Amino acid sequence: MRKILLKAKMLLCILTMSLVIFILAFSALLFPKYNKVKDVEFLSNDYYTVTFRDSNISIGEFYGNFNSEFFEYIIANYQWAKIKAIPFGEKELEQLGIDSEVLQNRKKQEDIAVINEKYLKICYEENNTYYIENQGVIYEVIGTFSDDKDDDLKETSCYLNLNANGLKSNNKYDCLFLDISKNYDAEQLVKSIKKKYPEIDIKKWSGTQYNTFSNNVYLFVVTLVCALLLCMNCVAFTEAWLSSQKGELGIRRLVGATIKNNNCYIIKSYLEIFGISCGSAVLISFLVFGFLKRIELLRATRELFGTSLHIGPLLLAVIVVFVIGGITIQLQYLTIMKKEILEMMR
């Protein structure tokens, strides 16, 4: 009996470890599904990313060819400098948490900017006013905002006034983000833009940021290989646990239990162990994700696995481990049942 309990505990541990590793593997694979990231948080779920195949047209030309009322927001993205440009208005500044009163007595075309408070160090101060230089143009800083991301590369260092004189002829942006107003037909407007600029590429937001390369698939493969290697031990421990049941199965056969009865007994025992393993794996996973969420130094790991346990990765992990264990038990059980009762009693 002690031998059976020991093998059961060992099987419980290896099943739990396998489940946790598979949960992490599937969390990496499904990370983009559960952690959609916009290029700018206040854009809608239906915004478009615009790029040009050859050379960009100037911001002034593009913005001037379309009625500003067509767009809820239009943003130029300078990814290399983590800078964006947006028309400065009451609505836009409020989205950044800046009081629109800073625009009082300001002209629409002024060279002004708002800076991420973390990046004030890249500005220079003169007469108690901060200034920032971008592509040879000096912009006066009229306010600060907060944009603290886990990944510094996804932060915005500052927003420039898209209507600024210094940007009218600028065409050195990486892409444009167009958030089309709900009052207009988005598909028709997209067709008009493509007709006006045949060399344009315009894509609807799909859940990831512009020009973002994800390592999640590769991490999934690596983690999956580790999980499968661990599952090989799971197979061995399952066989060892079932082998420890030989004497019990032999006694049950002697007192009249059929092969079907014994099979049901084994399945029931396995389900009990597997159920406890699932509960333990969920608890450990919650602790792991909680740890990832709280430790500042693990930003890169959070970008791969996420910070929450989702039902999708959990169900996939449970199914994979259960199927592997179930098939192993059935194959081993059929082998045992072919032996004579007296051999099982040894």
Q: Angle, to 10 degrees, between the axis of helix 246-254 and the axis of helix 259-294? A: 150
Give me the pLDDT at residue 344, please: 46
Give me the pLDDT at residue 276, please: 92
Give me the pLDDT at residue 342, please: 46
List the chain residues with pLDDT less than 50. 340-342, 344-345
Give me the pLDDT at residue 140, please: 92
The domain locations on the chain are 2-36+213-345, 48-204
Q: Which residue has the tokens 């799909």?
A: 206
Give me the pLDDT at residue 307, please: 80
Helical residues (DSSP H) of the chain, grouped into ranges: 2-29, 31-34, 59-64, 90-95, 186-196, 216-243, 246-254, 259-294, 299-305, 311-337, 341-345
Give me the pLDDT at residue 217, please: 61
Q: What is the pLDDT of residues 94-141, one digit of tens each?
A: 888 888 888 888 888 889 999 998 888 889 989 889 999 988 899 999
pTM of the model: 0.65
Residue 311 buriedness (CB in 10 A; 0-12 / 13-18 / 19+): exposed
Distance CA 38, CA 209 (A): 6
Give me the pLDDT at residue 282, please: 94
Give me the pLDDT at residue 287, please: 92
Give me the pLDDT at residue 338, please: 65
